[in-house]
Structure 1
């Protein structure tokens, strides 16, 4: 067996010498126990949540600005980044014993290259809040026009003259609150005024002279003001990023090799596979057929170690319609088992 085959067998065996005190059952003294390998597919998901707040003048955006604006607050969550990687770990449901002797040095040499210890895994990290509390939309301070206006009203009062009363008109100004549409029209007028000022500065059609940094600062300030006024019509959004890591362990005894890896909900973000409130994202595993071994098979009369030959699988992540990732992976538990002679 050459060096390349030596490495291959070590990965296929992936056997481990498990100390006697590490497992729930006591290993017999003088024996070596090992576990067959299994593949876990780890998926790292990143999603962006958008909290959209509709502007107070949204229903007048088409009338005064000629633009379509979203009319209601909305929360959405979209997938932005996803990573997928296979990891090898011990399958504790398939553990075997071997009796080491002088003839098993080659086997022990192989196991030393792929040890699996039960305390090598990650047992979770501290939890934290995924999203901060939303304070709601804030359009305060946007706009420079007053919320009040002056209206002229004609009142009448009775004046006694001689034996009769006469009605005399009295002009009186009253301060009243502007209607929502009035404020929307004023904001739209301000937007067009700012755009006109910007064109005048760029073309030099102004009494003042702008050049260099002064022109850049003036244009920047005008753009900031225009953005504030536009938000009163088209609204604005806050964005938050959520990350989650999930594991999928394929099982050979399943009829369907399609798994729900995770779900995404507009209200809750990335949620677990068993949370039915979200849209499912599916992990499809398609194993390739494993061919028969060629050559003459001779039954060994000595001790043997069982090892796994992985199945090469096409792994695809999708939402049922669109595929996001596709890769080829070696899935040990979906493959077949072989026997490695420990002695001649």
Structure 2
């Protein structure tokens, strides 16, 4: 019991000394406490966004196709329906995303000076740069082009029954396909004659000028096209847009399949062997890499593993990029790619708080160095 009493007395004595000690270790008013934690960030790798526009065409053959040459002088009229696809436009653009192989940690005062994107990519040091809103590009899976159940609702200006000298409707007989085709061909000829007369003012009475005249000619063109389609067929079209994101690797990203394309099915997945592969081919520019190697041999720099600040930037590389459909080149461009270059430490002399540094969000390269309250340093 006595030992417990002595122990409690000792604890109270120590507590009293602590409470009575000077408060010099507390933060004074207006004094900032140095940041002692750490921040993990990543450098970007550059992705390539491929946008493909394709046109789908569904062709429906005409019901009078076998008489196209006989009555209209049009040979080889299609006799079957078909579906065709073609690529109408392609484009490339670059974007940045975190590189899982370039994740670093900045500690101490350096960590509190970083500006990062929403996904943790370093874009600034001692800078007021803000991460911009990222554009989301998506493939637009528009509906398959629609073909009416009855694509030929108007096949003639005339009755489909032969006229006979009788009042009994049971005596009417249906016209043959050839008879209907011949009547339609005659109607096409009449439309063309009337259009010709209207164009050369062949009528006795002058036709109205201006918009009314143009409307009349346009309607005659439309009617002629509709009836000619009964012989040569007509097409239904739709446009589709697809977006593919590719992140090429520095070592094994020289060539890869973006998608497959079939002239009868359009854009298909890379696993669908019915389509021909469309390849993205990259030819890195090695002159920059050789130049970097020569500079390192003359004046060695601190490696990323030995950097004191933990802050790095990228010296991106360049590559010639081609999009190939077999042997046909669809597009060729010169792009800057982060992962095809080098990683270097940011010089310690720029990290004393007197400089503002901005980095490119897609390549990780230093975009701007600005001395505070002084002119910008390029």
Q: TM-score with structure 2 length normalisation? A: 0.66
**Local SS of the residue matching 2:250:** coil
1:118: which partner in 2?
119
Pairing of 1:210-221 with structure 2 (within 5 A) = 210-213=207-210, 215-221=213-219
Is the CA contact 2:62–2:234 (under 8 Å) kept in the aligned structure 1?
Answer: yes
**Any conservation in 1 of the 2:259–2:267 contact (CA below 8 Å)?**
yes
Distance change (3 Å), C-alpha of 1:219 and 1:125: closer
TM-fit CA distance, 1:204: 4.0
Question: Aligned equivalents of 1:70 and 1:284: distance in 2?
Answer: 39
Match of 1:81 in 2: 89
1:296 and 2:299 correspond: yes
| RMSD, aligned CA | 3.2
Report the equivalent of 1:235: 233
- Which residues of 2 match residues 21-32 of structure 1 at below 5 A? 30-32=37-39
User: Relative to structure 2, which stretch is displaced further, 300-309 or 283-292?
Assistant: 300-309
Note the C-alpha offset of 1:312: 0.5
The residue aligned with 1:138 is: 151
Distance 1:342 1:148, change over 3 A: same
Cα distance change on mapping 1:93 and 1:137 into 2, 3 Å: farther
Range with bigger deviation, 63-72 or 228-237? 63-72
Whole-Å separation in 1 of the counterparts to 2:319 and 2:149: 47
- Deviation, 1:201, is 3.3
SS in 1 for 2:235: strand
Other structure's SS at 1:192 match: helix
Return the alpha-carbon distance in structure 1 between the equivalents of residues 139 and 189 of structure 2. Answer: 52
Q: 1:215 to 1:95 in 2, by over 3 A?
A: closer
Match of 2:102 among 94, 107, 113: 94
**Offset at residue 222 of structure 1 (A):** 2.5
The answer to whether the Cα contact below 8 Å between 2:321 and 2:333 also exists between their aligned partners in 1 is: yes
Q: CA deviation at 1:60?
A: 1.3
Consecutive unaligned residues of structure 2, counting only runs of 5 or more, are: 1-35, 121-132, 352-378
Q: Distance in 2 between matches of 1:215 and 1:127?
A: 41
Change (3 A) 1:175 1:87: same
Compare the two structures and name the one with the higher strand fraction.
Answer: 1
1:191 aligns with 2:194: no
2:173 counterpart residue number: 176
Partner of 1:270 in structure 2? 267
Deviations 1:274-307 (A, max 9, x none): 3333332221111010122423225577625454
1:188 is displaced (CA, Å) by 0.9
Tell me which residue corresponds to 1:52. Answer: 59
Assess if the C-alpha contact under 8 Å between 2:139 and 2:242 holds in 1: no
Which residue of structure 2 aligns with residue 331 of structure 1? 337
1:62 to 2:69 alignment: yes
Q: 1:183 to 1:32 in 2, by over 3 A?
A: same
Higher helix share: 2
Q: Distance in 2 between matches of 1:206 and 1:90?
A: 74
Shift of 1:178: 1.5
Higher deviation after alignment, 65-74 or 298-307: 298-307
Q: C-alpha offsets along residues 242-261 of structure 1, whole Å, 9 cap, x if unaligned?
A: 1111101101231x611222
Supply the distance in 2 between the matched residues of 1:288 and 1:181 (Cα, whole angstroms): 67
Alignment deviations for residues 36-88 of structure 1 (CA, whole Å, 9 cap, x no partner): 22001011221111111111111211111111322221111111222210111
The yes-or-no answer on 1:250 pairing with 2:248 is yes
